[in-house]
Chain A
Amino acid sequence: MINPAHDPQAITRILFQDFPLWMMVVFYISAVAAMAMFVYGCYIQVRKYWRGQPISLKQMQQRIGLMLRDIVSHRTLRRRDTSAGIMHAAIFFCFATLFVGTATITLEYDILKPIAGWTFWYGDFYLWFSLLMDLAGVGVGVGLVYMMYRRKWLALPKLDYHRPDRQTAEPDYDRSWYRLEDWLFLWNLIIIIVTGYVLEASRLVWLQTDHLVWDYRWWSPIGTSVALLMHDFGLSAQGAGELRYYLWWFHGLIAFLFIALLPFTKAKHMFTAIASLSLRNAQPTARLPLTDPDAETIGVRSITDFNWKQLLHTDACTKCGRCHEACPANASGFPLSPRDMVLTLRELSNNTLQGRKIPMVDDLKAVGDGVNQIRSETLWSCRTCSACVEICPVGIEHVPMIVEMRRALVEDGEMDAAVQTALQNVQKKGNSIGENKRKRAAWTKKLDFTIKDARKEAVDLLWFVGDYASFDPRYQKVAQSFARILQASGINFGILYEAEMTAGNDVRRVGEEGLFEHLAETNIAKLAACEFERIVTTDPHSFNTLKNEYPDFGGNYDVIHATQLVEQMLTDGMIPLIRQANRKVTYHDSCHLGRLNKEYEAPRQVLKKIGVEVVEMPRNQDNSFCCGAGGGRIWTPDPLDMDKPAELRMQEAAQIEAIDAFVVNCPKCMNMFEDAVKSTGNDDKLEVIEVIELIASCMQLESSESNETDTTTPTEISEG
């Protein structure tokens, strides 16, 4: 590699070669100034976050481990946008390499050499270093060009910053500054890269007669190619030396500018995204934050009511639009985009919390109709489906922020009249439907056996029935089917009868924390008086809340969803199947069983075991598209002139050929899709049916008295 005639120590790049002293002085002053500005900017940002509420962080080691895993694998960036993910990885890893390279030179030249006289940046090390840096520059360059291509020519809708929560005439409708910022960011980086190569090339042309440089030129393949090109165009060594001065300064100053402004520009996501990923909560939506019930007020009213982690989240957003694209409210034309909400709060915190003093409370209000405020209609559009949280590549947790703001709205009594009615029903009657408490178990009268009263005798399995299974005429059939399955399988099970109250999943997600606490405490007290091994429920909402949220109130149970139970029972051969279903269907993952509790397999396994072939919709599992009923939205009728999320979903299912059913596992999905299948005109093609009902039909449990009007159930198949 190295010519034996050359001294390896001489094979290096002489820094500041031929620079007069004043230039070096100016350079170091600029460097220190840029770094001082950077440190000051970081201080401003950290102080801004610090103005949020305190939080205690546990299991940081584990969280940082997850962050590192996600950054190294680029998993969160590759999801649902592979090319952007790969290109970002190219930029990220190559940029990091260039940064480490530059830092290595600084380490030697400015620290080790002056202090201890150590040097290592020469010879073989230098040559390999040169090659690596040259190639890293290519990586960054290719990535940046792709990002430009993506913005300019792919014109992805998710990168359009026009807002669904503002009218065109409003001042903060068109966020053109953001587009400008994106382009400045890309151009800034690309200019640094390109000038780097040209600078390298001009040095080579300038020093073409120096064997210590020229003989090793191909260790910088890109720079050398540019150098040869420049040489062909007639650039003389002297001219190149001249050019090098100017480029050197231009390259250096623009890099300093980048560093100095980093804490105030999009570039800060390099730090905030890492921090945000390290602060991720394992169950941001499944287990909503607790509040102090004795506090004077609860929820978020002002920007400073958010905790510092949430303020940092707003700065981590890179406007990538994955949440914007995944949000069912946004897709159906509701005034909510999770991205725009986060960016609105970012603007508000930048405007109010970066100064030396915090302004008056009125200027800090996060919820309102003004510029950089979140409107209540935006907050009420959310279905808490967690699609945004799921897909955010930088770990932003939108749903808890929305619920916290709703808590303040509820405290002030500001909500849709329909939500108010539902909450009043829950207060008075323990169910949101407004039915009489005493009728909670009326659905059991259609069974030809009596379900045990878990309050009076010990059972193995306590079935928490839930509001819709108890009162909704359509879903009562599912409840009856499930009861027959358990009975036929010889399970010792019981229900709470009138003592059950709604678990409170929606109540909590609407933001009525006081009522939720009351429900949790009451149900926990009722459950404490019963003897049982574990709890089952057909309702994924109750399942989630009993499993993940009741422990915070002292209710620790082994909770299982009906499909999980049935899957186990099928595996253990406990369910006497009489026939196979032999159907081809599509299966819809409910948010609460799927995304929130990561149970995608059990329902699919069940369907497979009873002879149902599942043809997946394009959006499935963690990308499932919410029916639109979560977070209390089931209580608020969607306006007639809008596409309902459930209708969009039904249209997606209707694209699949040769299926005859849309299978659900949740009473709210059932409710939404029973309507949507009709309103989209697919009711002659698709039957909306529950996993449980399919099993019951394979056990031939559909007794005639419960289904006198249901002609779709096959009953005449004879078995040996």
Chain B
Amino acid sequence: MKILVPVKQVAVLDEDFELRDDGKDVDVDFLDYELNEWDDFAWEAALQLQEQHGDVIEIVPMTVGPEEASDSLLKCLGKGGERAIRVWHESLQDSDPAVIARVIAKVAQREQADMVFAGTLASDHGYSQTGVSVAAELNWAKAAVVSKVNISPNASCIQVNRELEGGLEESIEVQCPAVLTIQLGINEPRYASLRGIKQAKAKPIEVLSHTDLGLQDSDVGIAGSRSRVRRMVMPAKGQAELIEGSVVEQAARLADIVKQLRGGV
């Protein structure tokens, strides 16, 4: 049984930052990068299943991203797993979640994976789309916001718990193969020691482009995307004001504010 775990190297904002000149993203000078937190939990879930069942389960982390994104794969491999896959080509730049999901689905097919464990969302863009879109691309069953996984290898069904609102959990059965998007708190991700990460550099990371996966240039990047970023903005900070005085004075001040906000007068 093979579990594919797509991970994302997310951008982390500095305390002070500036937007790019085109206004579509944050200036890279103000970004740090790290493994997406949800994906850390997804990888831990896969690691624990492998520890539980032994070598019958193979776990493979993958990412769609440039050379630098290998750091996140190394962090995964530092904890376990024997190899990883990274897909990149410059034409993949500015792809939307649908495109990323298309790429991941192709990798899942190529790997003949039985399961895909994705994070519920990524901490930078927060689309919550990629995982479920992979299921759609593959036409597999899916379960989102998973808080517990119970798998016996080679079974046709798996049991998972999903986190609902109000502290409620839903226990469901999902037909295999399936895509799970993993919620925070499902486990306690272990620490990847720096030695482990260094030694992981000896493990192979296979680098593929979209064409290796049978995708055309038109399937990826802006061309293949169904949405695009128009601009990023910093919402103006609201200002609170404590209105004091008699009821009449307060009412007058309130009326002024309303008029001011409507832009009239």
CA distance A348 to B15 in the complex (A): 52
Task: Decide yes or no whether A413 CB sits under 8 A from chain B.
Answer: yes
Question: Which residues of chain A (505-549) have a CB below 8 Å from chain B?
Answer: 512-515, 517-518
Contact A293 to B195, CB < 8 A, known contacts A428-B34, A436-B14, A436-B15: yes
In the bound complex, residues from chain B placing their C-beta under 8 Å from that of A412 are 190
List 16 additional A-B contacts (Cβ < 8 Å) besides A413-B190, A428-B32.
Answer: A293-B195, A410-B193, A411-B193, A411-B195, A413-B193, A414-B190, A427-B194, A428-B34, A436-B14, A436-B15, A512-B194, A513-B195, A514-B194, A514-B195, A514-B197, A515-B194
Q: Report the minimal beta-carbon distance from A520 to chain B, rounded to whole angstroms.
A: 12
* Closest A residue by C-beta to B79: A413
CB of B188 within 8 A of CB of A417, answer: yes
A413 touches B192 (CB 8 A): yes
Interface string of A477-518 (1 = CB under 8 A from B): 000000000000000000000000000000000001111011
Q: B180-205, CB under 8 A of A: which get 1 and which 0?
A: 00000000101111111110000000
Q: Which of A293, A419, A427 has the most CB of B within 10 A?
A: A427
Taking a contact as CB atoms under 8 Å apart, the answer to whether B191 and A424 are in contact is: yes
Among A423, A424, A514: residue with most chain B CB under 10 A: A514
Contact B191 A415 (CB under 8 A): yes
A298 contacts the other chain (Cβ, under 8 Å)? yes
> In the bound complex, do residue A512 and residue B193 qualify as a contact, i.e. CB atoms below 8 Å apart?
yes
- CB contacts (< 8 Å) of B195 on chain A: these are 293, 298, 411, 513-515
Quote the shortest CB–CB distance from A632 to chain B (angstroms).
12
Interface residues of B in 192-247 (CB under 8 A from A): 192-198
Q: Does A420 reach chain B (CB closer than 8 Å)?
A: yes
Q: Which residues of A contact B188 (CB under 8 A)?
A: 417
Which residue of chain B is the closest to A414 with respect to CB atoms? B190
- 7 example contacts (A-B, Cβ-Cβ < 8 A) are as follows A413-B191, A413-B193, A417-B188, A424-B191, A514-B194, A514-B196, A515-B195
The 5 A-B pairs of least Cβ separation, nearest first, read: A413-B190, A514-B195, A514-B194, A515-B194, A413-B191
Q: How far is the CA of A414 from the CA of B44 in the complex (A)?
A: 13
Q: Which residues of B contact A512 (CB under 8 A)?
A: 193-194
Contact B191 A423 (CB under 8 A): yes
**What chain A residues lie within 8 Å of B193 (beta carbons)?**
410-411, 413, 512, 514-515
Taken residue by residue from 30 to 63, chain B's Cβ proximity to chain A (1 for < 8 Å, 0 otherwise) reads as 0010100000000000000000000000000000
User: What residue of chain B has the Cβ atom nearest to residue A426's Cβ?
Assistant: B194
A515 — nearest CB in chain B belongs to which residue?
A: B194
Identify the interface centre among A413, A423, A436, A513: most chain B CB within 10 Å of its CB.
Answer: A413
Q: How far is the CB of A508 from chain B (nearest CB, A)?
A: 12
Alpha-carbon distance between A362 and B168 when the two chains are bound, in angstroms: 41
Given known A-B contacts A428-B32, A428-B34, A410 and B191 have beta carbons under 8 A apart: yes
Q: Which residues of A contact B15 (CB under 8 A)?
A: 436
Judging by beta carbons under 8 Å apart, are A514 and B198 in contact?
yes
- Residues in B neighbouring A513, C-beta threshold 8 A: 195
Residues of A383-423 at the interface with B, using a CB-CB cut-off of 8 Å, are 410-415, 417, 419-420, 423
* A154–B32 alpha-carbon span in the complex (Å): 62
Q: How far, in whole Å, are A533 and B188 apart by their CA atoms in the complex?
A: 47
Question: Nearest Cβ distance between residue A498 and chain B, in whole angstroms?
Answer: 13
Residues of B within 8 A of A423 (CB): 191
* In the complex, chain B residues 145-193 whose Cβ is within 8 Å of any chain A Cβ: 188, 190-193
Question: CB-nearest residue of chain B relative to A427?
Answer: B194
Q: Which residue of B lies closest to A511 (CB)?
A: B193
Which residues of chain B come closer than 8 Å to A415, judged between CB atoms?
191
Q: A514 vs B197: C-alpha distance in the bound complex, in angstroms?
A: 9
- B8-26 near A? 1/0 per residue, CB < 8 Å: 0000001100000000000
Please indicate the chain B residues that have their CB under 8 angstroms from the CB of A518 in the complex. Answer: 194
Per-position 1/0 for A424-442, Cβ under 8 A of B: 1001100000001000000
CB-nearest residue of chain B to A516: B194
A429 to chain B, nearest CB (A): 8
